[in-house]
């Protein structure tokens, strides 16, 4: 039932930074929060995950450059993206997965990130 709205995307030069936000309509304390991205001609990729307890996971392609965080009091999850590369270009989606897993998760509409070379 939670609704998610992403923001913070835009156009940035290679080497630059962006911070994406995912604002939820209600409490996210019982959700693992995830960021996915969809690049041109590629499958949707899991980028980063933060558990309900704050444990994080990153795809190898972004490890050391991206940081996922959550602020449960603000019902918001963030993705800080540094040292951006053209291959990071795509639509970034926020996803909320109930913990324990119920078999259903919730998606935002996505925000476009474009990195120029």
* Residues 30-72 pLDDT 10s: 999 999 999 988 899 999 999 999 999 999 999 999 999 999 9
Q: Where does the pLDDT of residue 1 fall: very low under 50, low under 70, confident under 90, or very high at 90 and above?
A: confident
Cα separations in angstroms, 4 against 43, 64, 76: 21, 26, 9
pLDDT for 106 beyond 80? yes
Q: Are 36 and 47 contacting, i.e. CB atoms less than 8 angstroms apart?
A: yes
Give the model's pLDDT for residue 26. Answer: 95
What would the mean pLDDT of 86-109 be, rounded to a whole number? 95
Q: Smallest Cα–Cα separation from 22: which of 114, 113, 108?
A: 108
Candidates 91, 96, 117, 92; CA nearest to 107 is 96
């Amino acid at each position: 039932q939670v609704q998610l709205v992403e923001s913070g995307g835009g156009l940035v030069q290679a080497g630059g930074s962006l911070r994406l936000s995912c604002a939820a309509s209600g409490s996210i304390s019982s959700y693992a929060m995830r960021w996915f991205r969809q690049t041109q001609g590629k499958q949707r990729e899991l980028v980063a995950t933060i558990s309900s307890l704050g444990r994080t996971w990153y795809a190898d392609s972004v490890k050391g450059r991206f940081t996922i965080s959550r602020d449960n009091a603000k019902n918001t999850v963030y993705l800080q993206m540094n040292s951006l590369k053209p291959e990071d270009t795509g639509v970034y989606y926020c996803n909320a997965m109930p913990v324990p897993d119920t078999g259903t998760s919730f998606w935002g509409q996505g925000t476009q990130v474009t990195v120029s070379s």
